[in-house]
A = this chain, B = another copy of it.
Amino acid sequence: MTDIEEIIQKLVDFRNERDWEQFHNAKDLALAISIEAAELLELFLWKEPDEASQEKIKKELADIFAFALLLANKFGLDVKKIILDKIEENNSKYPAEKAKGTAKKYNELDK
């Protein structure tokens, strides 16, 4: 069992022990990810990037990963594959020679 499979197994066991699968439709899982992402964001509100509490960042990141993994699992997605595939796609959208050192969006790289 890979690390990712092991984590997903524990998340699924936790969910099943509480009979929570009934609530975990894809739309609500997507809502949950957004909500946790905003809780992470709140740690930086009115602050400089390095002023946020690392302890709290850990917890909010963990929550984001948890719901994202549950949603990936719901669709039987291979988490490693979908990320590597997206890096491949981004390789074409953001060729290193054009994208280097600039934060421009892909549709602005030739301007």
| Interface set of A (CB-CB < 8 Å, partner B) | 2-4, 6-7, 10-11, 14, 17-20, 22-23, 25-28, 30-35, 37-50, 52, 54, 57-59, 61-66, 68-69, 71-72, 75, 77, 79-80, 82-87, 89-91, 94, 96, 99-101, 103
Contact = CB atoms under 8 A, between A and B. Distances in A.
- Give the copy number: 4
Give the secondary structure class of A's interface. helix
8 contacts: A3-B4, A34-B38, A35-B41, A38-B38, A59-B82, A65-B79, A65-B83, A66-B86
A37 B33 contact: yes
A20 B104 CA distance: 11
A68 to B, nearest CB: 5
Contacts of A44: 26-27, 30-31
Contact of A58 (B54, B66, B82, B100): B82
